[in-house]
Structure 1
Amino acid sequence: MANAASHITRGALKSIFSDAEKAGRELPVIVLQCLQLKPMIQQQGGGGERYRLILSDTINFCQCMLATQTNHVVHDGKLVKGSIVRVKSYNPTRVKDKDVLIILDLEVIESLGTPDKLGDPVSFGSKAGEPADNTIAGTGFYGTKQEDTKPAPAPRREMQATRGGGSHNSNNVIYPIEALSPYAHKWTIKARVSAKSDIKTWHKNTGEGKLFSVNLLDESGEIKATAFNDQVDQFHDLLQEGQVYYISNPCSIRLAKKQFSNLPNDYELTFERDTVIEKAEDQSNVPQVRFNFCGIQALNDVEKDTTVDVIGVLKEAQEVSQITSKTTQKPYDKRELTIVDDSGYSVRVTIWGKTATNFDARTESVIAFKGVRVSDFGGRSLSLLSSGTMAVDPDIPECHKLKGWYDASGRNDNFATHNMSSMGNAAGRKDEDKNIFQVKDQNLGMEDTAYFTLKATVVYIKQENFAYAACLTQGCNKKVDNSSGEGWRCEKCNVTHDRPEYRYIMSVNVNDHTGQLWLSCFDDVGRVIMGRSADELMALRDEDETQFAAEFEAANCKKLSFRCRAKMDTFQDTPRVRYQVMSAGPLDYVAEAKKLTEMIKQYEMI
């Protein structure tokens, strides 16, 4: 042990993280001890294996990560806990506010054996006496869980990128995207272009320019990269969505502008004139895309303007419509999609531009959206960002699960929607269950606005004036007028559309075992009751009146859970209580059974 300790470069870690350039000159090679070695969990979509470890100079220890070209020391069984290693090339960086040493080249000094921990090292930056976290289990600097090291498969040869030329050599190292920071230098990443924007131009008093951006993905993370002006001409045709490239600095790394990016990375890249980009021959060992899905029902708990990923079965796709921006007066194409999932909820997703006009997915396809912004319009709705992407029937487990559910039972289900009342519940208000007799007997809504939940059966729907012609502008929904015969005009938006969007405004009579009640329903609830959009129903009325009437007949006898608001208003100078449905959905029999169980327990206590 004494012999091994004498070989350690004591104090090396402090020198490296205090002044990396000076340490690089004075300590080109350092000797450290390996205290722990763990594999990083493979992310969805596969990708190259990576290992992380803790290295000690007997005074301090720090988190480290092996570059992929050093994996052979693990595969060969040479690098284990306790090994003394000669680090011949390294690069200090910061990952999630932690000092991390990227190991670019090392060899194990096998003659020194694998002694127990040498000295009493503390985590770099810790003060004497403070408890040191010397494990890499739980949520470490890459947020992966602890796993035992298993025999690794045969090493995978990694083609290396060179800078400033057209060939590859072994002098460059493959950096993980998640380790990139302004502190990194002399790096190369191997990444897939998961998204690519159109070229955008701007004109200002100070000048004009153009840009485009790409999202880059490897097994460790994602990062946005942007090219401006001359670099647009240099790289736009080279970088193609779905392809894998080696990208080497010089390339600027700076703090990400979160308002323009939906990626979970604190940094972003800016291509420079001398940035080297080369297409990789091996396209297989980089993941295609990484999703972090939020269920449709769970959107109710997501903050407005948050960016999320969602997946669902396409229930409806409207035709492309066009709106005009109030600020720029430029026209924009959009298309409204409705998707559902096995939570029993649906949500509307708006897609824009070429994505909208080129959309050709069939109804009942599974669509995965990456980078949609959450709006509180209609409770919850989604809009695909320009930096977002969309995949139809992707080969991922979540897609296969949804297909199986939809084919087995989902095709015939009714779906609830998010609305403002459900948001109120999320904030803490709990609506009481009532039957129709209680609603009337307790005079709900006569004084203060009251909210309640009602389980009832639809027995009649008025077919007269069941829908109105609404503005196509997202978030407007005001009634439009076609009296001029020159299009459907919205006075609020000051815009004329080629067609309206029909939205439900229905009067529905419901019954339970205690009586009957008239309810007012708007578009989201109408879709749940009718099982299709008002646009579709209006078209059916013009094409086949018999089938149109049959649709209303089929909607009768549906038993649903209605979340209602009772509020006094005036109709033809007569005050009355109006019962408006805020949301509706299928009965949750598990939840209802639990309620009955609790009621029975209360009787047992008497």
Structure 2
Amino acid sequence: MASDPASRISTGALSAIFDETKPQIHEPIVQCVQIKPLPPQQNSQERYRAVFSDITNYVQTMLATQANSFVTSGVLRRGCFVKLKGFQANSVKGKKILIIFDLEVLQDLGEAEKIGEPKPLENKMEEEEKPQPTTISSNGFYGSKIQGAQGQVASRAQPRPSLNPGHATMYPIEALSPYCHKWTIKARCTNKSPIKTWQNKNSGGKLFSVNLLDDSGEIRATGFNDQCDALYDLFQEGGVYYISSPCRVQIAKKQFSNLNNDYELTFERDTVVEKAEDQSDVPQVRFNFTTIGDLQSVEKDTTTDVIGVLKDAGEINQIVSKTTSKPYNKRELTLVDNTGFSVRLTVWGSTALDFNIPPEAVVAFKGVKVSDFGGRSLSLLSSGSMTADPDIEEAHKLRGWYDAQGRDENFNSHASLSNAATSTMKADNFKTVAQVREEQLGMSEEAVYFSLKATVIYIKQENVSYPACLSEGCNKKVTELDPGQWRCERCDKTHPRPEYRYIMLINVSDHTGQLWLSCFDDVGRLMMGTSADQLTELRENDEKAAGELFQNANCRTWNFRCRAKIDHFGDQQRVRYQVSSAKPMNYSEEASRLADMINSYSIV
């Protein structure tokens, strides 16, 4: 006989999550009293909001995307009973909300009407109450410390021990945000930049940055001036460290980093950095590989990771920059993989001088820029890294393939396919928006390519372009230091002005539905009929005329060549649809394509 559901509910558990002085329940049982979809957001997966009750109180929650299946499968319904197995509690500006990572629907308890008359959790924090750090409870997450009645410290989710009893709450990197106050992370330094200097009319200084990695994610940290002097020699690539606040958490400057994190750290005067004794419990490096065969459909100037067998390493060469007249050392490598393609990859500076990896080694590169010079080619960024024969699954597979058959294969070069992205679109590659969704294109780890005939119905005008470096082949985002002073971190120099480049987000429609597409500079110029530089100037001088340009670009039908690939953002994942080329509608070609389609469906 099933137990009485009301007797199983963890009464008072929701209030205790937000009040560390109350007894804690590790996996509370609650009743679901409401489920609603959140308003749809552009280019993102559907999200759901649920309200859970413990009879005494109820609280608003948001389901992480990996928990969507509980709703879409119909298992999580209004009135059912749930065990919360993984959650993150936030108290921001007095508003209490839970983010649910994992749960279990207790089907043996069935369903019932709302039990009791639960009241909302008090949303106003006491004025004298200090802001509490985010609390996380689930496998792999670390909780905040809880002061017990006798003054003993207990942990809600068994935080890892620190070297120093003075360490604050142990956090995973993915939980860091500007709302966190006292925290410590344990992370591996996967990359350390050289010390860089800058000088302008008003000031000068120096800086360095490190990439930090733990089980949950990666984050970039930067030290300026005194912190550069104090910390530069302490950090060594491959070492594991405890880093404790005070350390500023701020919105990441994406032009300086290729890490998948919305935030970055800035070391402050009192930031504590200690080398960890235990170096083994933190991962070495995390990759998001693009196969060499897929590079042809990757947008120019994208930053990615690749792995391949080193087929050839060229001699060291030196080039002189046209803009700075400085000499740069370079070495060209040739990589191959089991897609049957080869690619040229350039390494620079000391990496080129000190390169000593033998041919036929498997090499993984993190942080390479994709170029279309002579077809697709790659360049290792200053913030990137390379690892020979890494102990990862992808490397073992490549080694087995190369030893078994790859050594004797002939490989295609991307140089012969430089125009492949704009080649004629085959009829059997055309999809409708409904087919793209129904066939879940891009939901696997491999990129999928398709053609789409659709009409532009909306162009997002905010952040339609970005200020790019003037150096030939760079295109990195630059930062305005002072009027007439735009700094490029990659080139380590200042320009009097930037060149604006498109990063357009458009909504397109056909007779079956709508889709958000990302477009870059070449496609943006074609669709807008002007350069991003000219559009930016027009918006500053004549907003009405600029608005007319956007209006004229709407309601036009194009044949798009698209790439669908799943992107990972911490615990979330979503499909990104990227336009590699676009062609105005040619009605003669379109009529022929439709006629061929009709003939293919004809009944014999």
SS where residue 329 of structure 2 aligns?
strand
Deviation at 1:174, TM superposition (A): 2.1
1:171/1:395 CA distance change after superposition, 3 Å = closer
Counterpart position of 1:258 = 254
- Aligned AA (1:29): K
Counterpart position of 2:242 = 246
Equivalenced residues, count:
351
Cα distance per residue 1:441-486 (max 9 Å; x no partner): xxxxxxxxxxxxxxxxxxxxxxxxxxxxxxxx9989xxxxxxxxxx
Q: Aligned to 1:34, which of 25, 28, 32? A: 28
Counterpart position of 1:214 = 210
- Aligned AA (2:373): F
Note the 1:47-446 alignment, pairs <5 A.
57=54, 58-60=57-59, 62=61, 92=91, 100=99, 119=114, 160-161=161-162, 168-169=164-165, 172-419=168-415, 421=417, 423-425=419-421, 428-429=424-425
SS where residue 206 of structure 2 aligns?
strand
Note the 1:4-23 alignment, pairs <5 A.
7-8=11-12
1:376/1:420 CA distance change after superposition, 3 Å = farther
The answer as to whether partners of 1:34 and 1:55 remain within 8 angstroms in 2 is no
Deviation at 1:239, TM superposition (A): 1.1
1:278/1:63 CA distance change after superposition, 3 Å = farther
- Aligned AA (1:196): K
Cα distance per residue 1:314-365 (max 9 Å; x no partner): 1111111122222222222111111000111001111111111110011111
Deviation at 1:423, TM superposition (A): 4.0
1:418/1:64 CA distance change after superposition, 3 Å = same
SS where residue 294 of structure 1 aligns?
coil
TM-score (norm 2): 0.51
1:56/1:353 CA distance change after superposition, 3 Å = farther
- Aligned AA (1:62): T
Mapped to 1, the partners of 2:29 and 2:232 lie a distance apart of 46
Cα distance per residue 1:236-258 (max 9 Å; x no partner): 11111101111111111111111
Mapped to 1, the partners of 2:10 and 2:100 lie a distance apart of 22
Mapped to 2, the partners of 1:429 and 1:6 lie a distance apart of 59
The answer as to whether partners of 2:170 and 2:183 remain within 8 angstroms in 1 is yes
Cα distance per residue 1:16-41 (max 9 Å; x no partner): 6xxxxxxx6xx7437666359xxxxx
Mapped to 1, the partners of 2:341 and 2:10 lie a distance apart of 65
The answer as to whether partners of 1:90 and 1:102 remain within 8 angstroms in 2 is no
Cα distance per residue 1:541-597 (max 9 Å; x no partner): xxxxxxxxxxxxxxxxxxxxxxxxxxxxxxxxxxxxxxxxxxxxxxxxxxxxxxxxx
The answer as to whether partners of 2:60 and 2:98 remain within 8 angstroms in 1 is no
Mapped to 2, the partners of 1:429 and 1:63 lie a distance apart of 42
Mapped to 2, the partners of 1:423 and 1:12 lie a distance apart of 61
1:84/1:409 CA distance change after superposition, 3 Å = closer
Deviation at 1:202, TM superposition (A): 1.1
Deviation at 1:56, TM superposition (A): 5.7
SS where residue 28 of structure 2 aligns?
strand
CA RMSD of aligned residues (A): 4.5
The answer as to whether partners of 1:297 and 1:345 remain within 8 angstroms in 2 is yes
Mapped to 2, the partners of 1:116 and 1:234 lie a distance apart of 60
TM-score (norm 1): 0.50
1:394/1:171 CA distance change after superposition, 3 Å = closer
- Gapped runs of 5+ residues in structure 1? 17-23, 37-53, 66-80, 104-113, 126-140, 145-155, 162-166, 433-472, 477-601
Cα distance per residue 1:56-92 (max 9 Å; x no partner): 6552253699xxxxxxxxxxxxxxx96799x9x9765
1:35/1:318 CA distance change after superposition, 3 Å = farther
The answer as to whether partners of 1:91 and 1:184 remain within 8 angstroms in 2 is no
**Higher CA-based Rg:** 1
Mapped to 1, the partners of 2:9 and 2:160 lie a distance apart of 36
The answer as to whether partners of 1:212 and 1:228 remain within 8 angstroms in 2 is yes
- Aligned AA (2:28): C
Mapped to 1, the partners of 2:170 and 2:53 lie a distance apart of 24
The answer as to whether partners of 1:91 and 1:101 remain within 8 angstroms in 2 is no
Mapped to 2, the partners of 1:160 and 1:6 lie a distance apart of 29
1:329/1:387 CA distance change after superposition, 3 Å = same
The answer as to whether partners of 2:10 and 2:29 remain within 8 angstroms in 1 is no
Cα distance per residue 1:198-230 (max 9 Å; x no partner): 111112111211111110001111111111100
The answer as to whether partners of 1:55 and 1:63 remain within 8 angstroms in 2 is no
SS where residue 234 of structure 1 aligns?
helix
1:84/1:117 CA distance change after superposition, 3 Å = farther
Deviation at 1:282, TM superposition (A): 1.1
Deviation at 1:274, TM superposition (A): 0.7
1:475/1:269 CA distance change after superposition, 3 Å = closer
- Aligned AA (2:22): V
Mapped to 2, the partners of 1:288 and 1:259 lie a distance apart of 24
The answer as to whether partners of 2:292 and 2:336 remain within 8 angstroms in 1 is yes
Mapped to 1, the partners of 2:472 and 2:353 lie a distance apart of 17
1:474/1:257 CA distance change after superposition, 3 Å = closer
The answer as to whether partners of 1:301 and 1:426 remain within 8 angstroms in 2 is no
The answer as to whether partners of 1:31 and 1:84 remain within 8 angstroms in 2 is no
Counterpart position of 2:574 = none
Deviation at 1:171, TM superposition (A): 6.5
SS where residue 399 of structure 1 aligns?
helix
The answer as to whether partners of 1:227 and 1:270 remain within 8 angstroms in 2 is yes
Mapped to 1, the partners of 2:412 and 2:178 lie a distance apart of 47
SS where residue 259 of structure 1 aligns?
helix
SS where residue 299 of structure 2 aligns?
coil
- Gapped runs of 5+ residues in structure 2? 31-50, 65-80, 103-107, 122-136, 141-156, 429-470, 475-599
Mapped to 1, the partners of 2:53 and 2:16 lie a distance apart of 9
Deviation at 1:301, TM superposition (A): 1.5
Mapped to 1, the partners of 2:315 and 2:264 lie a distance apart of 36
